[in-house]
Amino acid sequence: MRLSMVGTGYVGLVTGVCLANTGNTVTCLDIDPAKVAKLRQGTSPIYEPGLDELMAHNIAAKRLLFTTDAWEAHEHADMIFICVGTPSDERGHTDLKYIHSAADAIADALIKLGPKQRPKVIVVKSTVPVGTTLMVRDRIRAKVGPAIPFEVANNPEFLKEGAAIDDFNKPDRVVCGVEHDAVGDRMRELYDPFVRNGHPIFVIDILSSEMVKYASNNFLATKISFINEMANLCEAHGADIARVREGMCSDKRIGNQFLYPGLGYGGSCFPKDTLACIMMGEKTGIPTLVSKAVHETNQRQRDRFFDKVMGHFSAKTAPGGLAGKTIAFWGIAFKPKTDDIREAPAITLMRKALGYGAKVRAYDPVAAENARHELGSAVEITDDQYACARDADALVISTDWDDFKSPDYHQLAKVMKSPVIFDGRNLYRPSQMREHGFTYYSIGRAAVKPS
């Protein structure tokens, strides 16, 4: 098939590359000429393991193309995928301006092609509130009139940053929302190479397809907030969340995924999608009490963790409370194997530390450049994890990169001014920290304070 991708962000680029890799000809459209120039040279704007190699392979095979010209992208496309951003506004409501812009550009291309064409399928792959795909249909229909044929579909993505290539190539499921069976058949044809592992393609109605994405992400976010709430209870009552988690997760009905205590969720999906569910409830008068609690618990988790820092230093909750202290951070990205710092707990914690007068230094294996762009000169970004910890009064573990899981404890204690660790990912055993002489705070477990 010939396909076009509107948007070369995380979803659009990964989708385009993977679909090109099975033999389709894919043209990726973006409005940024500098970005398109880099993409044509095989330079990915995002860090995702395996993506650069697949890009280079398919560019060389002339199956993967990049352009800023909407007509060039859409003229020969059998399917047009809308993969633009749908950010939350200041109220948490989904901003659809990029969806509207994409729909208008597609309508212009359809008008130019005229009525004598095979109906193109316009696929909304962006995460959108329920009803948006049909809104796109109506918006395009209003512009092109009744004579020009086209179809719409919804195709939510379920990609995990850091494992997106594998997720796309070996999906747990593919969900397609369609109005007509013939469109479902075309979607099945497109995705057939990816479901030969026996996992299903669900061809359902469009409204349900849109809701599947939100229900899935909201549930995973709920698991994260739940385990953090249990961890806080363990801490208050002297229990150990690690032992509690083991006993709880051995129940097959519960499982063990997304049930790790920590600093809460971040990134571009869970925060935005949870807020979108709340927004959809507000618009229809349906109380979303669980979603609200999930979001509030997630935000409070960062505050609660930072309270440990303030408590250790007996800092007053006023500007200057951490003056003269240097706080080092290992990890900036919201999770390992990505350079994505959107809604990252580390960013929140660093800004809090700065607000109380601390000097902040940070290290991340791949997110350094994004952090420099986001934080400017306020935070010193280093290229070495031990240089980051040098002369620090405390070290905060904020991302569970493999690089941090078995450090040289002797070297770490030697370079730090004070051997104090605040572990937001529970990477280390308390007994291990006691043995090496660290004061150690984690989540859902008793603090270690060497005598």
Q: Under a CB-based contact definition with an 8 Å cutoff, are residues 294 and 222 in contact? A: yes
3-state SS, one letter per residue, for 409-446 = HHHHHHHCCCCEEEECCCCCCHHHHHHCCCEEECCCCC
At 420, which CATH number? Answer: 3.40.50.720
- Region 193-206: what's the mean pLDDT? 93
Q: Are 191 and 236 found together in one domain?
A: no
Q: Under a CB-based contact definition with an 8 Å cutoff, are residues 305 and 422 in contact? A: yes
Alpha-carbon Rg for the chain, nearest whole angstrom, is 24
Active-site choice (18, 28, 269, 277)? 269
Q: Return all residues near 237 (Cβ < 8 A) that are at least 6 apart.
A: none
| CB atoms inside a 10 Å sphere around CB 309 | 23
- Final residue before a domain boundary, out of 178, 204, 230: 204
- Final residue before a domain boundary, out of 204, 238, 271: 204
Domain limits for position 182: 2-204
* Coil, strand or helix at 241: helix
Is the pLDDT assigned to residue 346 strictly greater than 80?
Answer: yes
- Final residue before a domain boundary, out of 180, 204, 228: 204
User: For residue 94, what are the β-bridge partners?
Assistant: 88
Residues, the chain, total? 451
Whole-number Å distance between alpha carbons of 131 and 138: 11
| CB atoms inside a 10 Å sphere around CB 79 | 23
Handedness of CA 118, 124, 130, 132 (dihedral sign): negative
- For residue 451, what pLDDT band results from cuts at 50, 70 and 90? low
Q: How far is CA 273 from each of CA 43, 100, 244, 367, rounded to the nearest angstrom?
A: 29, 19, 29, 23
Whole-number Å distance between alpha carbons of 28 and 12: 8
Query: Can you read off the two tokens belonging to residue 259?
Result: 């049930």
| Angle CA 444–446–448, to nearest 5 | 130
Q: Under a CB-based contact definition with an 8 Å cutoff, are residues 304 and 337 in contact? A: no
Model pLDDT, residue 197: 82
- For residue 86, what pLDDT band results from cuts at 50, 70 and 90? very high
Q: Are 239 and 265 found together in one domain?
A: yes
Whole-number Å distance between alpha carbons of 352 and 304: 12
Q: Are 148 and 230 found together in one domain?
A: no
| CB atoms inside a 10 Å sphere around CB 196 | 8
Q: Are 137 and 225 found together in one domain?
A: no
Q: How far is CA 46 from each of CA 164, 368, 381, 447, rounded to the nearest angstrom?
A: 12, 13, 19, 37
- Tens of pLDDT along 272-319? 999 999 999 999 999 999 999 999 999 999 999 999 999 999 878 778
| Angle CA 397–403–405, to nearest 5 | 60
Q: Are 162 and 301 found together in one domain?
A: no
Q: Are 189 and 331 found together in one domain?
A: no
- Amino acid of residue 134: L
Whole-number Å distance between alpha carbons of 397 and 329: 6
Q: Under a CB-based contact definition with an 8 Å cutoff, are residues 103 and 137 in contact? A: no
Residue (of 174, 78, 172) closest to 122 by Cα position: 78
**Mean pLDDT over all residues of the chain?**
95
Q: Return all residues near 138 (Cβ < 8 A) that are at least 6 apart.
A: none
Q: H-type helices in 268-288, by residue range?
A: 270-284
Q: Is 131 exposed, middle or buried (0-12, 13-18, 19+ CB in 10 A)?
A: middle
Residue (of 331, 366, 395, 287) closest to 44 by Cα position: 366
Q: Are 277 and 380 found together in one domain?
A: yes
Whole-number Å distance between alpha carbons of 107 and 153: 15
- Tens of pLDDT along 98-146? 999 999 999 999 999 998 888 999 999 999 999 999 999 999 999 999 9
Query: Can you read off the two tokens belonging to residue 341?
Result: 């710092």
Mutual angle of helices 206-237 and 270-284, in 10-degree steps = 110
Whole-number Å distance between alpha carbons of 123 and 99: 11
Q: Are 35 and 74 found together in one domain?
A: yes
Q: Under a CB-based contact definition with an 8 Å cutoff, are residues 385 and 359 in contact? A: no
Q: Are 192 and 251 found together in one domain?
A: no
User: For residue 65, what are the β-bridge partners?
Assistant: 27
- Amino acid of residue 415: V
- Tens of pLDDT along 232-288? 999 999 999 999 999 999 999 999 999 999 999 999 899 999 999 999 999 999 999
388 is catalytic: no
Q: Are 269 and 152 found together in one domain?
A: no
3-state SS, one letter per residue, for 60-89 = HCCCEEEECCHHHHHCCCCEEEECCCCCEC
Q: Are 293 and 371 found together in one domain?
A: yes
Total domain count for the chain?
A: 2
Query: Can you read off the two tokens belonging to residue 273?
Result: 């999608």
Is the pLDDT assigned to residue 340 strictly greater than 70?
Answer: yes
- Region 209-220: what's the mean pLDDT? 96
Model pLDDT, residue 319: 81
Q: Are 147 and 271 found together in one domain?
A: no
- Tens of pLDDT along 145-188? 999 999 999 999 999 999 999 999 999 999 999 999 999 999 99
Model pLDDT, residue 336: 96
